[in-house]
Structure 1
């Protein structure tokens, strides 16, 4: 999960704020020597402006938490956060259901505002319906940052064991000014629900820099049209710089998207990475008479998902519709791993949407585009299409009519008049490096009328428009990149810290990379044997924290001793020693 300097900056601002606000206190929760030994007791006694710092202790905090009050606009937030540099754990093992919530949730907020939750490990709930963190009803200015949520298990058909759940259940008062940033959700059972979901009357939100992996349904979802909760819909928000891996549904044949908009409106989905899910990114409308509209899907990397890459539209004639959405600057690479015949782009019941400046690169089944009936007045242009077998062996299906050549598809469909079939010449797609080489035909090949938004960036946080025209796909080749390609500059990356070190059960590994690319983080014993691979995948640029629990790849407890943590990018390595003491 991406970590920022938020905690340090927050403490600085809190100090300044506390000087001017006599009500602001710092409350410490600790096994001994603090103000309270219970997190709930500290919350019960906290007032607007207070910060609750929770210290790490020898055992987890076995309790489920309820915020029955928050802060206010005058005095500020109630902040519940890990003590700086420490790793407190909230554990639901053996703890009765949260009495405040109608479901079983580790942390529950209902109709409260001005609350921050920062830096916890939240784990071990077994329930048909529950969450690591649930926000319900209405409220404003809520921040959920830098938490690890896992082992939320037992999700059932009528509910789900979810990581973070935001339910705007009041039609007249929304949940708004919401930030969900830098969280790591993994090994959960959302089942018929989602790992991270915003549903109902939720607006003005930022869902950023989260890592979702190994969940048994949708990764991130923005929902409207479910009348059992609210007649309103998630809207006016942004989903950016998230990474979703292995969101695979446990029911119905497996059709979970890594990122899904179902009935939401006016949402930007940008700069995300989605891989190994059932579907990559899907913009849909499951409920009848619901129209999903105003969604912008831009500059995402969608690769090697099981059944399709980029998907939009209601899934049959009796569902809702997707209208007036824009898909631009995305890179879709070798999706439909299971050879379902849906390829890189799957269009369902959708009308008047626009797709331009995207790269679609097929796998060995050569299926690029599939659409049946319901595809009405959608416009495709200035896209790059490619299959290694050649343009006369690739497959496009437009409104149930199949074309086996690019020129035939253009003529028969009337689409992609300025698009082209060519190898995009990625730097190293086999290693999930989707940067463009200077010789790529995608460079300066986008729509000549395209003007990026002021805050729009490419996959490396760099300018979206660097040449005479925008590049096609998620990468924008910068002038310095082309000038120095013959003598490439090394990646700037650092293995920043291992904390705690020495450690007993678990340690945090913090690293930073300046450019997106294939990253491997692994643990070796003193004999040079790799005993644990922590990540081996495409990674966006940024600063990240992962945890190693002192176990090997077979989940066996490693013995006491010295180990080397190694970070490798493009053949360059950094290593630090970690000392495990049992």
Structure 2
């Protein structure tokens, strides 16, 4: 889903909604055993030097990955030796509980599924899991799937049609490209997970993958869209992208049933995203720096935590582009967001465009540093934290905001939206950065607090003593005024670990920012 104009948000949220998110994440972990614990009945081997007439043993390997997959039963593993495989992989079978079908790289070797010269017809992927269950795909390069044909959709990995209990691990996806003009439907995905039937997709794990140098046009690098419930997107690295890094979406044409048409109950954690830059592709020509690192758009009950997002057009968004799908009951916590071209974290509906908005969300314990390198789509400074249309019942607390000298700490654009709480933050700048509330600018901290009706527990003008602002390293020096000066809302809201994996709350105290 393209982000080119604007977004934003604000207060109180029911704790039970977040308990559901945590329960969903726990369920996903329990239902997703690692490949090391998979009950393997038979091992098949594939090698570039093999033959499909062979038996598939290590000394008599097959040549085609698809041929090997046609032979497996639940519990079997296909080990693929290093080398290049020019074929579109389609999983023909499913495993079952405790008997996953596993397709993985042979230990210490790198198999490459290479799309060079392969055609793209309609929506296609180099690796497709369609109505599959209990599958592990691990350790491959998936690359060079390109098209210059209008209105096709090139994907590295596609998971759809009710698939469940799927693990995508330790793969590298790159050079997935739809090289046409924007008017010809430039679109594609590194990984697309799309719930496009009335069968719920659930227990999806995407972990330790690397996605880079893909031309996805109006689409994204890693997408979770439609009827997908209980997913974990963890420890991935996404970079050198012309549009959105990670997108959990709702309200698009993924599913014809409106009740099913949004992602829900997910965890986006410990990922690193950088060089997400729309100006590197033709979409950015008219819209500038409009892409987003991590984007929750019309989805519900999503936790975004412990990520590092830097050198992106915008950092993290819990936003809605669609009228009937407000982004709801989400938490953005314990993240580092820095050096964005525009805003760091934002909430709300697009200005003068949608009525969806952002409701009942938390933005807590994040560290933001030196975002807003350039002005926004309307020539304005978007703000380190940005709220646009229809933000209702949101909480913004315990954030450490270190702004550029002429920056805006918090920017609420319009009078739409109510009951947003802003408090217990630490604001610092070496210059004259200020605040904007309902479109009015404030340079004076006391006047700002009166205008927003909050921030009584916040501090302004005290150096937070970041470890190194030159690198930057956003960790805290000993003696930082952010240390142990936050307010505990609820452990389920603030999480049990900080950005480094250390306990988030210690001796019933919590620090401001992402590091305890």
State if a TM-score over 0.5 links the two structures: yes
Query: Distance in 1 between the 2:74 and 2:404 partners?
Result: 55
> 2:174 aligns to what?
150
SS at match of 1:226: coil
SS at match of 2:70: helix
Aligned-residue CA RMSD (Å): 1.8
> 1:484 aligns to what?
none
Question: What is the CA distance between 1:84 and its match in structure 2?
Answer: 0.8
CA contact (8 A) 2:494 2:504 kept: no
**Aligned partner (choices 93, 104, 118) of residue 81 of structure 1:** 104
Question: What is the CA distance between 1:417 and its match in structure 2?
Answer: 1.2
CA contact (8 A) 1:289 1:321 kept: no
1:429 aligns with 2:452: no
1:278 aligns with 2:310: no
Deviations 1:98-140 (A, max 9, x none): 7xxx413110111111111000011101134111100121111
Q: Cα–Cα, structure 1 residues 450 and 113, in superposed 2: closer, same or farther, change >3 Å? A: closer
Deviations 1:333-389 (A, max 9, x none): 000111441121111111110010101111132321212112422110101111112
CA contact (8 A) 1:106 1:122 kept: yes
Query: Distance in 1 between the 2:375 and 2:102 partners?
Result: 48
Query: Distance in 2 between the 1:448 and 1:219 partners?
Result: 31
> 2:443 aligns to what?
404
> 2:117 aligns to what?
94
1:161 aligns with 2:197: no
Identify the structure with bigger relative contact order (alpha carbons < 8 Å, sequence gap 6+): 2
SS at match of 2:245: strand
**Aligned partner (choices 361, 365, 380) of residue 329 of structure 1:** 365
1:415 aligns with 2:454: yes
Q: How does 1:311-390 map to 2 (within 5 A)?
A: 311-319=346-354, 320-340=356-376, 341-349=381-389, 350-373=391-414, 374-389=416-431
Deviations 1:521-543 (A, max 9, x none): xxxxxxxxxxxxxxxxxxxxxxx
Bigger strand fraction: 1
1:126 aligns with 2:146: yes
Query: Distance in 2 between the 1:463 and 1:163 partners?
Result: 34
1:227 aligns with 2:262: no
Query: Distance in 2 between the 1:306 and 1:45 partners?
Result: 50
Q: Cα–Cα, structure 1 residues 439 and 228, in superposed 2: closer, same or farther, change >3 Å? A: closer
CA contact (8 A) 2:398 2:512 kept: yes
SS at match of 2:486: coil
Question: What is the CA distance between 1:317 and its match in structure 2?
Answer: 4.3
> 2:73 aligns to what?
47
Deviations 1:32-70 (A, max 9, x none): 34431111111112121110000013xx11111111322
Q: How does 1:440-479 map to 2 (within 5 A)?
A: 440-451=480-491, 456-476=496-516
**Aligned partner (choices 96, 100, 103) of residue 72 of structure 1:** 96
Say which one has the larger Rg. Answer: 1
Question: What is the CA distance between 1:264 and its match in structure 2?
Answer: 0.5
SS at match of 1:42: helix
Query: Distance in 2 between the 1:305 and 1:45 partners?
Result: 49
Q: How does 1:228-307 map to 2 (within 5 A)?
A: 229-230=255-256, 231=258, 232-249=261-278, 250=281, 251=283, 252-307=287-342
Query: Distance in 2 between the 1:448 and 1:117 partners?
Result: 40
Structure 2 unmatched ranges of 5 or more? 1-32, 51-58
> 2:29 aligns to what?
none
CA contact (8 A) 2:403 2:428 kept: yes
Q: More displaced, 257-266 or 408-417?
A: 408-417
Query: Distance in 2 between the 1:162 and 1:277 partners?
Result: 18
Give the TM-score, by structure 1 length.
Answer: 0.75
Question: What is the CA distance between 1:450 and its match in structure 2?
Answer: 4.5
Q: Cα–Cα, structure 1 residues 353 and 177, in superposed 2: closer, same or farther, change >3 Å? A: same
SS at match of 2:470: helix
Query: Distance in 1 between the 2:211 and 2:60 partners?
Result: 30
Structure 1 unmatched ranges of 5 or more? 1-8, 19-23, 477-582
Q: Cα–Cα, structure 1 residues 143 and 34, in superposed 2: closer, same or farther, change >3 Å? A: farther
SS at match of 2:312: coil
Query: Distance in 2 between the 1:337 and 1:141 partners?
Result: 41
Question: What is the CA distance between 1:96 and its match in structure 2?
Answer: 3.3
Question: What is the CA distance between 1:451 and its match in structure 2?
Answer: 3.4
Query: Distance in 2 between the 1:92 and 1:219 partners?
Result: 22
